[in-house]
Amino acid sequence: MANSEAGDQLASENLVPLLERFYGPLSVPPADPFRFFVWEVLGTQTTPARRDAAYAALHRIPALTPDSVFRASRAQLVAAVALAGLYHEQRLSAFLSGAERFRRMPDLSEVVRGPLRAARRALATLPRLGEGSIARVLLFAGGHCVMPVDRDMARLWVRLEGHERKAMDKLPIGRVRRRIQHVLPADVHVFRRVADYLRHHALQTCTDEPHCTVCPLAARCPSARIQHA
C-alpha cells in the first residue's frame, strides 16, 4: 500500500508531537473496560471538560462499577450524568443499559481483553457504541492495536491527504483506518497516543468549519494551504 503525504508524516512522527505541544497533556482514559465504556458514553457529543466533570461526579458517588451503579440513587446518577451536557437522557439510558450488560456478563471485561474477534462481537451488544467507539474500547481498554476512526477522524485525514472538498462527503472510514494502521508500528502505546491526539484535534480545531489560522498542522496540511492560497 503506497503511503500518502499524511501517512509519511505520521510514520516519521512529524504530526503528533506538534499536537502534543499545542494541546498539552490530555486526560488519560480509564483502562478498565466498564469505566472506559462509561467515559465513552459521557464523552459523546460534548466537550472533554464536561465529560471529565460527569465522570468525576460518578467517581464521587461512587458509581463506576456495574454493581455500584445499581446501589446509587437515581437522583445521584441523573445529576452526575447531566454534567456532561445535552442528551443527558439518552446518555443515562445507555449508561444504565451498559451497566446491566456488564453485570449480567461478569467476564465481559476479560472478553474485551481477549481475542479480537470475540471482543468486537461482545462490544457490539453494548448500547450507544458505533464502530469508532467500539474501536476505542478495544484500543484503550482491551489493549488491541486497532485504530479508532469515526467521521471526525476521517474528515481530518481527508484534509491532511489533500483531497478535494467533495471527498469529505464520502468519509472513507475503512480506508483511513487502513492508511493509519499501515504506517504505525504494532505498539499499543503508539496507537493510543496517535488516536488520542488526532481525534482531539479533529474535535477541537479541524472541525466541520476548520480553524486553519490557529491550527498547528496548517503548514503541513494541503487543505489549509489551498484555503489560504
Q: What is the CATH number of the domain that holds 194?
A: 1.10.1670.10
CATH code: domain of residue 40 = 1.10.340.30
133 and 170 within one domain: no
Q: How confident is the model at residue 183 (pLDDT cuts 50, 70, 90)?
A: confident
Q: Which three cell numbers stand for residue 30?
A: 480509564
Ranges 16-20, 97-101, 165-169: which has the least confidence: 165-169
DSSP 147-206: ----HHHHHHHHHHTT--GGGGGT--HHHHHHHHHHHS-S-HHHHHHHHHHHHHHHHHTS
**Same-domain pairing of 66 and 132:** yes
Tell whether 136 and 153 lie within a shared domain.
no
Report which of 103, 95, 153, 157 is spatially closest to residue 127, judged by C-alpha positions: 95
Which pairs with CB-CB distance under 8 Å and at least 24 residues apart come from 64-73?
A: 64/34, 64/35, 64/38, 65/34, 66/34, 66/99, 66/100, 66/102, 66/103, 67/103, 69/95, 69/96, 69/99, 70/99, 70/103
Cα–Cα distance measured from residue 168 to residue 157, given in angstroms and rounded to the nearest whole number? 10
Question: Do the beta carbons of residue 193 and residue 199 sit within 8 Å?
Answer: no
Domain tally, the chain: 2
For residue 74, what are the domain limits? 33-140
| 203-222 average pLDDT score | 91
Work out the percent of the chain whose per-residue pLDDT is above 90.
Answer: 69
- What digits encode the pLDDT tens for the residues 48-68? 999 999 999 999 999 999 999
The pLDDT of residue 2 is above 50? no
CA distance to 10, 59, 124, per residue, from 198 (Å): 10, 27, 24
Q: Confidence band (pLDDT; 50, 70, 90) for 14?
A: confident
Q: Tens digit of pLDDT for each residue in 141-173?
A: 999 999 999 989 988 988 888 765 555 556 578
Distance from C-alpha of 169 to C-alpha of 60, rounded to nearest angstrom:
42
Q: Which of 117, 57, 34, 45 is nearest to 88 (CA)?
A: 45
Picking from 122, 140, 158, the residue at the C-terminal end of a domain is 140
Q: pLDDT band at 8, cuts 50/70/90? A: low
Note the pLDDT of residue 149: 93
Looking at residue 102, its amino acid is: F
Per-residue confidence (pLDDT) for residue 168, from 0 to 100? 55
Say whether both 172 and 221 belong to one domain. Answer: yes
Query: Does the pLDDT at position 202 exceed 90?
Result: yes
Task: Judge whether residue 1 has pLDDT over 50.
Answer: no
